[in-house]
Amino acid sequence: MEAVARSPASPGADGFDRASIEQFLIHEALLLDSRRFREWMGLFADDGTYWVPAVPEQASPFDQASLFYDDRDLMRTRIERLEHPHIHVQTPPSRTAHLVGNVLIEEVDEAKGECVVGSTVIMVEYRDEAQRVFAGRQHHRLRRDGASFRIVQKRVDLINCDCAFEAMAVPI
Amino acid sequence: MRNGHADDIAKLIEPGRVHRDVYTDPDVFELEMERIFGQAWLFVGHTSQVPQAGDYITTELGRQPVIMARHRDGGVYVLLNRCTHRGAKVVNERKGNAPRLTCCYHGWSFDTDGRLASVPVPEGCAADFDKSAFDLARAPRVGEYRGFVFASLAAKGPSFEDHIGPMKGNIDDLVDRAPDGELALDVGMHRYVYNGNWKLQVENVLDSYHVPFGHASTVNKQGVQFARREGDQKGAAVVETEKKQTAASWKDRKSYIAGNGHGWTSNTALDDSKRSSPAFDEYKRVLAEKVGAERAQQILTPRLHNSLIYPNMSIMGLNIHVRVIKPIAVDRTEVTIYPIRLVGAPAAMNFGNIRLLNVTHSAASFVQTDDLESFVRAQKGLRSHATDWVDISRGLGDEEPDRELNATRALATHEMVVRAQYKAWLGYMREAA
């Protein structure tokens, strides 16, 4: 079997070891599940973005609609709204359970101190007598920050990204 | 309400109230599909969605699947997406390009103008089989204005000109913002569904009364909404926080009707003198270069918030977009929101519009989600028999003529526009198709 074209990451190399990355992804998912949205936003770099494309293999957020494409400013507005006492679409609030697996370090850029980690995410959401499932592959571009990481971009490609959704209030 | 007698339908609508059955009765819904969505001029799509020969999109008019295709002759055809053989939906993709539209079942193949091009194993056809009688059905009437394609599934009825006439200025207001004078609906779409009647969405687009309450979570502690236009530093003042009431500038906004159920609301008051960003400034420069500084200034002076072209589409002047409302069942509705690309505008300006529409009208947006919650709760509440009536009486009798605009005017927090929609609704519903 031929090696994949992407540069193989060497586990344990300079902070990009799989265990600490997985630990980070799980920590991120648990922040979302416990509705600690401000701390979740704190994981992002100042230039960080959160992107959920609206079509499969969407090339860019700049020339077509996305379900989410938040920079830090929009993320802050989103979270202020999630904390607002009169957010009707979160009355009652969503409860979510994320499962993150199939983690692969897919790219490493040592010069920038960045790597791209792919993982499969399943989020089950329950709200107001209804339960639904979101699933897809997500990619985190992580930048080394001391002993941990900052998210430069989190991209979630839902398998049903181009379907008609009922209201979605919480990030995947 | 089973038989659809005109007298029974008329009983559902009174001057300041409508019977809850208009939202909840499946028989009323069936009649709507026949008498409104089977007769009225409905928005289908925009010519920019099918620029090249062989391009097509598929959509639904009411519940009926249709294809809008660009043929070799340059014409745009609206075809019923139903094989003339055994009835299968011919085109399954949402969009694409094909020289022929071929049914997956027995391989009947149609040209992009609907003509039946080939039938496999033709020697099996009946002796008197007339191929020309099996072309894909075309929508009986199609009309277009500045790229906006409408169709009526009825052979007779008011002309397209009579239907769209009062709203041409509203379409112009949007299209003229493009430096090249044309729009393109080629930058994706947002799609959402909700468990509620289609009219809940139609009524909502011109409802300014709900904003301070329905969208409370989008308003900051100063009573100001988040910025929704490229170049704005902040959004509209919605709430007067000291008195905890709707802001005066919001209460002053107007709504208008001009027949056929159509209507619009005046612009959201924003500080246009402070609107500036690299993308917006460059857009303004390009627009002025194309149309002249004075005309550019006119075009960029906001007049309109939302415009409803009854019964199935609206256009918005604030976060520019086109919205299409598709009824699925009496308590289920799908909506498509198309961001708009202003042809000739800098890419950064178009991105600014796309980016902000993501947070106002995607299924995951800050604004639309609270409306969806209201629609769902309305549908649930209307199950109650506490009263059979839904009140739409705000401002009843306070309407006034606006001779300059050739329209009727009221405060936007009143419910004149909803009453006008039910007047049009009744007009369609009393007529057997």
Q: What CATH number is attached to the domain comprising B68?
A: 2.102.10.10
Evaluate whether residue B223 is within a structural domain: yes
A61 touches chain B (CB under 8 A): yes
Contacts made by residues A116-119, CB under 8 angstroms, sequence distance 24+? A116/A140, A116/A141, A116/A142, A117/A21, A117/A25, A117/A142, A119/A25
B217 touches chain A (CB under 8 A): yes
**Cβ contact A88–B189 (<8 Å):** no
User: Which residues on adjacent β-strands are paired with residue B70?
Assistant: B76
What pLDDT does A63 receive?
95
Q: Domain with A111 in it: what CATH number?
A: 3.10.450.50
Which tokens is B280 given?
Answer: 């917006």
Cα(A153)–Cα(B28) distance, integer angstroms: 49
B369 touches chain A (CB under 8 A): yes
Same domain, B194 and B131: no
Which tokens is B243 given?
Answer: 């008195």
What pLDDT does B408 receive?
98
Evaluate whether residue A4 is within a structural domain: no
What pLDDT does B268 receive?
85
Q: Which residue has the higher pLDDT, B257 or A8?
A: B257
Evaluate whether residue B265 is within a structural domain: yes
Overall domain count for chain B: 2
B277 touches chain A (CB under 8 A): no
- Asked casually if ipTM beats, i.e. exceeds, 0.90, the reply is yes
B188 touches chain A (CB under 8 A): yes
Same domain, B124 and B202: no
Nearest by Cα to B375 from B223, B201, B152: B201
What pLDDT does A75 receive?
97
What pLDDT does A163 receive?
97
Same domain, B198 and B122: no
Same domain, B130 and B193: no
**Cβ contact A63–B187 (<8 Å):** yes
Nearest by Cα to B178 from B353, B337, B56: B353
Distance from CA of A41 to the nearest CA of B (A): 17
Q: Give the burial string for B131-144 (b: 16+ CB within 10 Å, else e).
A: eeebbbbebebbbe
- The parts of chain B modelled with pLDDT lower than 50 are none
Cα(A161)–Cα(A116) distance, integer angstroms: 21
Distance from CA of A88 to the nearest CA of B (A): 6
Evaluate whether residue A169 is within a structural domain: no
Evaluate whether residue B17 is within a structural domain: no
Domain that holds residue B424: 165-429
Evaluate whether residue B96 is within a structural domain: yes
Same domain, B218 and B134: no
Domain that holds residue A134: 18-54+65-158
Same domain, B236 and B344: yes
Q: How many helices (H) and strands (E) does chain B have?
A: 13, 26
Which tokens is A65 given?
Answer: 């609609």
Is the pLDDT at A36 greater than 80? The verdict is yes
Same domain, B284 and B140: no
Evaluate whether residue B4 is within a structural domain: no
Burial of A72 (0-12, 13-18, 19+ CB in 10 A): middle
Contact residues, chain A, for B350 at CB < 8 Å: 63
B187 touches chain A (CB under 8 A): yes
Which H/E stretch holds residue B297?
Answer: helix B293-300
Overall domain count for chain A: 1
What pLDDT does B433 receive?
56
Q: Which residue has the higher pLDDT, A6 or A146?
A: A146
A60 touches chain B (CB under 8 A): no
Evaluate whether residue A83 is within a structural domain: yes
Q: Give the burial string for B252-265 (b: 16+ CB within 10 Å, else e).
A: ebbbbbbbbbbbbb
**Cβ contact B372–A166 (<8 Å):** yes
Nearest by Cα to B193 from B375, B12, B13, B344: B375
Same domain, B129 and B255: no
* End-of-domain residue from the set B145, B177, B203: B145
What pLDDT does B134 receive?
98
**Cβ contact B187–A165 (<8 Å):** no
Closest A-chain CA to B321: A65
B50 touches chain A (CB under 8 A): no
Same domain, B254 and B326: yes
pTM of the model: 0.95
Contact residues, chain B, for A84 at CB < 8 Å: 216-217
Which segments within chain A are labelled E, that is strand?
A: 44-53, 66-70, 95-109, 114-127, 130-145, 148-158
Evaluate whether residue A163 is within a structural domain: no
Closest A-chain CA to B359: A68
Instruction: Determine the average pLDDT of the residues in A81-107.
Output: 97
CB nearest to A169's CB, from B218, B359, B369: B369
A169 touches chain B (CB under 8 A): yes
Same domain, B131 and B270: no
Q: Domain with B271 in it: what CATH number?
A: 3.90.380.10
Cα(B339)–Cα(A67) distance, integer angstroms: 12
Closest A-chain CA to B214: A88
**In the block, residue with structure tokens 């299209």:** B175
What pLDDT does A14 receive?
57
A92 touches chain B (CB under 8 A): no
B366 touches chain A (CB under 8 A): yes
Distance from CA of B351 to the nearest CA of A (A): 5
* End-of-domain residue from the set B145, B179, B207: B145
Evaluate whether residue B35 is within a structural domain: no
**Share above pLDDT 70 across residues of chain A, in percent, rounded to a whole number:** 91
What pLDDT does A3 receive?
44
Evaluate whether residue B257 is within a structural domain: yes
A52 touches chain B (CB under 8 A): yes
Evaluate whether residue B152 is within a structural domain: no
Same domain, B134 and B197: no
Same domain, B112 and B192: no
**Cβ contact A88–B373 (<8 Å):** yes
User: Residues 69..88 of A with a Cβ closer than 8 Å to B: which?
Assistant: 69-70, 74, 77-78, 80-81, 84, 86-88
